[in-house]
Structure 1
């Protein structure tokens, strides 16, 4: 979900951006929780309504059959009361009696066909099955037979509006659900974000990582401990990986304890001026090592591999190239935009267009 009206029309800042999945999951949970107490009662009422409708239709059929029998009896009496001498009258009454019998026979056949096609009365086991199915609302909601149109119809029947407010660049989102009837539900949900530095608990996370690293823990062990303590990554999916721990330690300038010491570089292959080991450049720019490898494949940056084992990558990046890479990251992440004069004095624009090179410059330099 994006609120980009001002940006699209005037070049102003983007208002809010939210991954749809996290909000959809929250709203679905709220709707199912609201419907759960009434699910059993609704299912039983539905079964009772089916039986009531069937009883009403059966009553109409009984009245029609009764009326047909009355017509047959009247025609028979009229025929038997006719004088034998009045043969023309007797023949007419006989025809009326035969027509009444034929109509009664046709109506009876229609009634039998209706009984065969109409659903039978619900048994106790069937009522129990309906109750069990109603109790499993999440299963019914996710069933292939339930379409998106069905889900939207249910949501619109119980929810009037949904208001969200993202807390800055963090992962926290204040959600207000306005229910039909005037009630409101206020909750805070978590959205996936791109930069782990924007996490609301990032200072505590970095402090905890530094504390464990100073105690001699390696990144793999630190990541496992963070997952045990309940920390979540920026994207919210999966556990915290050791690469994130390594990046935070590199930025803080904290020595990293390895489970096994890395092989020293041969003097002929050692990084020269304006050259970086691939993981150190990723930490300097605040991207993943996968991003650096992708840039190598695309030809955006140049590098070389060690000629000896373990053939690690060494990337060439002077200060000018670093600035270009940071500007590219800035553009890709949507932090640079043309500003309409209407928003020239907006304080959000100032922070929106700050140079990330100054903003995220680490205290320790890893290049030579």
Structure 2
């Protein structure tokens, strides 16, 4: 250190991009006694006057740089506000030499772009659109932006990111937007900036009806709402999945107002609200068996669909015809492009001199490759035509017309997936509000699309007799029948005739359930009393012994199997 005595430069303060760098240089020079020289003179940073003068020069230089940067930024925004700032356009558009943005002159590129928006409006998710494009071998046309091949059209396999960018870009709705991504300080390193997607209200510029549009602005807003709803979260419905729970995303807890989650178990699915337990350490609000709830809501939905069945069948017919026309148009464009490539390769081969064998062989190979590609596409198109005709047949038309009378059968058909059932429910229902009572009943409020509401009460399976709404009347009736000397089987018949029912969605009582209920109530039927009197000394019925020892009957059964308890089974019980 100390090897440098003088630093020479022209306008030294302009070498630093910020005052921090400039003052750091002054500190180092003052520490080691290094002088600084420019066109105006020689300065010693260790001296007060020179240090003050150098500091002022650095401050003025930094202020000038900041002012220039601010002017350039404001000029860029001002130009964007006039719609005159040029930026790269996405697939489906090209920019002319004059700066005007127009549709891509290639018809196939336009057709594929419109197809993406139509299929998203129909299917509702990006992944479903991607599967459709891959299944039908539809590629995305992209113009090369840089290099020797700038402006050439290339076809790439579709992917999820490119489809999302297409659906989110407002240019397809004819809007000129600037500032969709802006620089913000990075959390991990505030001195650096990173780009972040901004909300629409925070964009610098947004001018509607400025550019050619593939979709309307209203359709663009619906697409953004659908993309937001497909996100997983408490405030969004989420995309329809293939699970058995049909009300996922629609069911709302009537106690806390949060969306209820689904839990799959071997015996079936269940809806639960665990927001209070998860966020606040409390207890879960409520839960209900999914099968009974789904059946109740589906019955209401099918009733609501009956008046609109004819309109649905006509819409299905129109959609089927439109899809076949789109696919056939896409195949025709692929064949036309392959034919053009083959003819162009033929012309190139015919223009070469016969003596130039090196070039002729290469062009011949390219010609043969394009011919094979054209022939392959023709064979694939023939298979496509064999699988489905271009026009809807009369049988298909008649089958679609019969949809009006077969909606329940179509709903239960094995060909109808859970994803399709969920999509149907989401088209007619906004949400379902659930309030589970302490008994076997639950209150439902269905909010339909359009503002109408329906309220109903459903019966849910409960685990215990004590949860039944008529438990007190049931106990009173059992007391009366036991006092009359009725046996378990006779009591069960009397209760079934009176309209009583057991828990767990069973329809009738049996003798075993009555015996368990009588024991829990501390009663004994006449049959049990007679049976106990006939037992020898030092013998107990298994249930009575379990009560005496205060242990579960399951434990006594395990002891019997292990040989720890002497037991016998009485084949014929006294009547």
Partner in structure 2 of residue 145 of structure 1:
415
Deviation at 1:303, TM superposition (A): 10
Partner in structure 1 of residue 478 of structure 2:
209
- How far apart in 1 are the matches of 2:489 and 2:460? 26
Q: Check conservation: 2:432, 2:447, Cα contact below 8 A.
A: yes
Show CA shifts across 1:84-142 (max 9, x none).
Answer: xxxxxxxxxxxxxxxxxxxxxxxxxxxxx89986355654x765543444423222112
Local SS of the residue matching 1:239: coil
Count of residues paired in the alignment: 247
Local SS of the residue matching 2:494: helix
Partner in structure 2 of residue 183 of structure 1:
452
Q: Check conservation: 1:219, 1:245, Cα contact below 8 A.
A: yes
Partner in structure 2 of residue 242 of structure 1:
511
Are 2:440 and 1:171 aligned?
yes
Question: Against the structure 1 CA distance between its residues 181 and 11, is the aligned structure 2 distance closer, same or farther, given a 3 Å change threshold?
Answer: same
Runs of 5+ in structure 1 lacking a partner? 56-112, 286-290, 312-368
Structure with more relative contact order (C-alpha pairs < 8 Å, separation 6 or more): 1
Show CA shifts across 1:213-239 (max 9, x none).
Answer: 333332122223323333222111343
- How far apart in 2 are the matches of 1:136 and 1:260? 59
- How far apart in 1 are the matches of 2:277 and 2:399? 53
- How far apart in 1 are the matches of 2:324 and 2:568? 85
Written as runs of structure 1 = structure 2, the 5 A alignment for 1:254-333 is 254-258=523-527, 261-262=530-531, 264-269=534-539, 271=540, 277-278=542-543, 281=546, 292-296=552-556, 307-310=567-570
Partner in structure 2 of residue 103 of structure 1:
none
Q: Check conservation: 1:161, 1:179, Cα contact below 8 A.
A: yes
Corresponding residue to 2:307 among 31, 37, 48: 37
Written as runs of structure 1 = structure 2, the 5 A alignment for 1:57-136 is 118=389, 122-123=393-394, 128-136=398-406
Deviation at 1:256, TM superposition (A): 0.7
- How far apart in 2 are the matches of 1:282 and 1:151? 51
Deviation at 1:304, TM superposition (A): 6.5
* TM-score of the superposed pair, with normalisation by structure 1: 0.55
Local SS of the residue matching 1:192: coil
Question: Against the structure 1 CA distance between its residues 166 and 230, is the aligned structure 2 distance closer, same or farther, given a 3 Å change threshold?
Answer: same
Give the root-mean-square deviation of aligned CA atoms: 4.2
Local SS of the residue matching 1:18: strand
Partner in structure 2 of residue 192 of structure 1:
461
- How far apart in 2 are the matches of 1:284 and 1:16? 36
* TM-score of the superposed pair, with normalisation by structure 2: 0.37
Deviation at 1:260, TM superposition (A): 11
Q: Check conservation: 1:250, 1:283, Cα contact below 8 A.
A: no
Q: Check conservation: 1:248, 1:283, Cα contact below 8 A.
A: no
Q: Check conservation: 1:159, 1:179, Cα contact below 8 A.
A: yes
Runs of 5+ in structure 2 lacking a partner? 1-270, 326-381
